[in-house]
Homo-oligomer: A and B are copies of this chain.
Amino acid sequence: MSLRTTLLASAVALAAALPLSAAEPAKYRSAQEILDASPAGDWRTLDPANTLYMELESGRVIIELAPAFAPEHVGNIRTLAHEGFWNGLNIYRSQDNWVVQFGDPTEDEAKRKSIGTAKAKLPAEFERKAEGLRFDRLPDADGWAPQVGFVDGFQAGRDPATGQAWMAHCYGTLGAGRDTAPDSSNATELYVVIGQSPRQLDRNITVVGRVVKGMELLSVIKRGPDPMGMYDKPTDYTPIKAIRLASDVPEAERTALQLLRTDSKTFADATEARRNRRDAWYVRPAGHIDLCNVPLPVRAPKQG
């Protein structure tokens, strides 16, 4: 029992193939083998104008924004980031198996940090017309939505009866906290999901993007002691050095990153390899995968 093999098999472990039966026409390839063999065109580069860098003392969290779903919120977020709204503010909430949240928690509105030229009032952007969106549907059953799949790298739901589509809450989803009124968000108070997918929030709040790299910096933030994860003293806050649009960052300081296109054959093949694991470790392929269990691969661009 070596260190490597006694451990619970995971995403990256154990690519060995089972002996093939006569009925199996092709050798099973693990998701990693499929990714390793992928054509360059199956990857896309993040658009710097849609990319946020959140700079923490522990490192950089990289977020892709979703203007196709939340144009007004993303517009405000671009303005807020461009004008440095979050710089020097904090992550002031960390609730286990739920969310971390950041912005300005000041109770007294008059004392809150100025939002500069950002809009004070935004519409609720809980869903939109599905028309005009490429929707790469996941064939698997889902209890929360009539259809689920991917829209340009974002997990999404769709309802043919209403013709609407929306972003789903998965691990890493970025949303805009709101008050009781659906249109009470101004996109300053943002949360990131750090636990079991809270899909009951879908279509109840505006989702604005997704963390594509750096979740491990947010997920380990010490939980606040109150039931909603609020801290009882500001010294427990996690300071935000800056949140900037990648397009506002000098090119030399940007993080080069490619995402697997969710409309690619590589993505479909890698998802199938996860849906039905037929490596040496798994004794029973699941025959199913949930929307929020589908990996969304990210890599550094290949050199040369």
Q: What residues make up the interface of A, taking CB atoms closer than 8 Å to B?
A: 1-8, 10-14, 93, 95-99, 101, 105-107, 109, 126, 140-144, 170-171, 175, 177-180, 182, 184, 189, 191, 194-205, 215-216, 219-223, 227-230, 274, 277, 280-284, 286, 288-290, 292-293
**A116 CB → nearest B CB, Å:** 18
Contact check, B96 vs A216: say whether CB atoms are below 8 A apart.
Answer: yes
Among A99, A105, A197, A290, find the residue whose CB has the most chain B CB atoms closer than 10 A. A290
Number of copies: 2
* A280 to B, closest residue via Cβ: B180
Contact check, A6 vs B177: say whether CB atoms are below 8 A apart.
Answer: yes
Chain B residues closer than 8 Å to A5, beta-carbon distance: 179-180
**A107 CB → nearest B CB, Å:** 5
Chain B residues closer than 8 Å to A282, beta-carbon distance: 200, 204
* A5 to B, closest residue via Cβ: B179
Q: A142-B143, A180-B5, A288-B143 are in contact. Are A13 and B199 (CB under 8 A)?
A: no
Contact check, B98 vs A283: say whether CB atoms are below 8 A apart.
Answer: no
* A142 to B, closest residue via Cβ: B143
* A220 to B, closest residue via Cβ: B220
**A70 CB → nearest B CB, Å:** 15
